Amino acid sequence: MSSKNKKLIIDIVMLKILKKIGSFFLDIIQTVVLALAFFVIIYLFFFQPHQVKGNSMSPNFLNGEYLLTDKITYRFKEPKRTDVIIFAAPMDEDYEYIKRIIGLPGETIKVEAGHIFINGEKLEEIYLNKEIKTQGGNFLKTGQTFLIPEGEYIVIGDNRSYSSDSREWGTVPRKNIVGKAWLRYWPLDKFGLVNRW
């Protein structure tokens, strides 16, 4: 076999090898791009990770815990009382808070004698320790009845003595709600779906 033919065979083999390597890397790039696109779609429209910051929801949600927020349910259903939600803070929408929905649009709410009354009925809050008392604040004053406007919600932290919430700064507009806490994934010993009670 002439050296010219050997060189031609080597070139053909090298070309096939390069095509296979190129095809392999192209497959990897396509897989990575698809995975990233899938992640972005999930992140933007379905679920978003959040970290609990502070102790306003203690002992039910502790500082440093990680949650997945369900961003799709509220596209089809209205938020419900006792849902734990993540929302853009009305005072500064660059910050997101985690609180529990207590009052719904169109309801009256009053804080009195350490308890919350919705439409004149005492709210049973089984997610709180029995010794916890709820006090009013600058917005939701003790003993005063407040009518919650349409499209607005009253949200309060479970750690009533250490929570800056609707009692201080008012209602949360529906548009500010990012979603509801759906899954706690860190720490691992608390892994599981978030209970609404």
Order across the sheet with 121-122: list the strands.
121-122, 115-118, 108-112, 146-147
Q: Which residue has the higher pLDDT, 3 or 154?
A: 154
Question: What are the extents of the domains in the chain?
Answer: 1-45, 49-193
User: Which is catalytic among the residues 99, 110, 166, 180?
Assistant: 99
Q: Which CATH architecture has domain 49-193?
A: Ribbon (2.10)
Token readout for 154 is: 């009253």
The three-state secondary structure class of 170 is: coil
Token readout for 190 is: 């608390």
Token readout for 16 is: 């096939």
Q: Residue length, the chain?
A: 197
User: Can you name the residues that pair with 39 across neighbouring β-strands?
Assistant: none
DSSP annotation of 142 reads B
pLDDT digits 0-9 by tens, 157-186: 999 999 999 999 999 999 999 999 999 999
pLDDT digits 0-9 by tens, 119-156: 999 999 999 998 999 999 999 999 999 999 999 999 99
Tell me the pLDDT band of 7, cut-offs 50, 70 and 90: confident
> What single letter denotes the amino acid at residue 14?
M
- Please give the Cα distance from 193 to 156 (Å, whole number): 21
Instruction: Indicate if 23 belongs to the active site.
Output: no
pLDDT digits 0-9 by tens, 18-56: 788 877 887 788 888 777 766 666 666 688 999 999 999
Is the pTM higher than 0.85?
Answer: no
User: Which is catalytic among the residues 56, 71, 110, 166?
Assistant: 56
Residue 85 has pLDDT above 90, yes or no: yes
Instruction: Indicate if 56 belongs to the active site.
Output: yes
